Each structure stands twice: as C-alpha cells, then as structure tokens.
Structure 1
Amino acid sequence: MGCRLDATQLWERACSRRQWLSQHLQRLTHRFREQARSHIGICRIRQSWLRPTRYNTPLSSSVSTYR
C-alpha cells in the first residue's frame, strides 16, 4: 500500500510542523513587541507632562513662597 510511512518520513513531517509552530508563535510575539516599542515614546511624553516644572506649577504654590 502507498500510505505506509517509515520513521524518517514521520520525523521530517514532525519537524516541519514544529518549525511552522515556532515561526507562528514568533510572529505573534514579534507583533506585540513592535507595538510595545512604538508606545514607549508616547509613555515618555506623557510622563514629561506630569512632571512638575517651574512653568506648570500651580500659581498658589509660587505665590505662597513670596509671602
């Protein structure tokens, strides 16, 4: 019969499935890594908005120091 496979053929098929699975998982994680990398700059900009500087401190705190 033609549907009989030997050990070498089975091993080659298993390796190709394993390789496909690892490549598929790598593509999925790579997409998230790229997305995270692109969002790093946005987080840094937002953090700089939250840092107090002499230009964005409340007026009441600067007035109270001069009394």
Structure 2
Amino acid sequence: MKLTINGIAQEHVEPLTVQALLDVLGFEGKPVVVELNHRALFPRELGETALHDGDALEVVQITAGG
C-alpha cells in the first residue's frame, strides 16, 4: 500500500491502522497529532481508523519546551 507521510511517499504492508503505522514509525506511546487526508483525528480514532492505498498523513509529535 502506498502512503504519503509528512510529504514523503512510502510503501507499507496492508492491513494497517493509523496506530499500527505510528508504532512502526517509532511513535509508540508518544503524544502526536495526526491528520489523515486533511482531517485531524481524535486520539481515540487512531486504533480504529484503517489506512488505504493513496492515503496522506501528517504526523506531528507534541513536545514541551520553554
């Protein structure tokens, strides 16, 4: 399955949820904001939202700073 993640085309194995993809990308347990096809997802949606060929995601890790 072809996905575009933060503007970069990537190939991933199907089937895959957003949360499973985040785990593969190394974001497991980290606070992130995810936009799927120009729609922001609630954290509760990450584990239940399936990805499909051609989807585009933007993933931003939330960090604290001062």
| Shorter-chain TM-score tier | under 0.3
Greater relative CO (CA pairs within 8 A, separation 6+):
2
Structure showing greater Rg: 1
Q: TM-score, normalised by structure 1?
A: 0.18
TM-score normalised by length of structure 2:
0.18
**Which structure is higher in helix share?**
1
Could you say which structure has the higher strand fraction? 2
